[in-house]
Amino acid sequence: MNYRIQFFNKSVQSEIERWPTGIRASFVRITEQIVISGPNLGMPYTRPFGKGLFEIRARGAEGIGRAFFCCIVDRQVVILHAFVKKTQKTPEKELEIARKRQKMVQS
C-alpha cells in the first residue's frame, strides 16, 4: 500500500519549489520512493532525528537540501519544514521549527 506525501502548508511546498533544480530533482526522487516503499529508506536518503521526526537528505550539484517530515495516520507523510543547508551541522532553529510543526500535526 502506498504512502501519501503532503505539505504542512503552502510555504513549505513553495520553499522546495524554489530550490535549485538538482536539489529539487533529488527531493522528488526520494519522495517518489517514499510513496512506494514507505518513509524508512535509511541513509543516505532519510535519517531519523528521534521522537518520530525524520529528514529527507536531498543532494544536487548546487548543494544540499533538507526537508523534515513525520508520519501520521493512514500512511501519510507530512513535510514539515525545508531549507537549503549552508553549514555542516543542521541549524538548531531549523530543527525547532520542524519539531513545533510536528507537535501541531500529531496532536
Burial class (CB in 10 A: 0-12, 13-18, 19+), 96: exposed
Domain that holds residue 20: 4-106
**Total domains present in the chain:** 1
pLDDT computed for residue 88 by the predictor: 87
The strand pair at 76-85 and 53-60 is best described as unpaired
Domain of 55: which CATH number? 3.30.2310.20
Q: Are 75 and 2 in contact (CB under 8 A)?
A: yes
Residues forming a β-bridge with 76: 4, 72
Q: What is the pTM of this model?
A: 0.94
pLDDT along the chain (107 residues), means of 10: 94 97 98 95 95 97 97 94 92 96 94
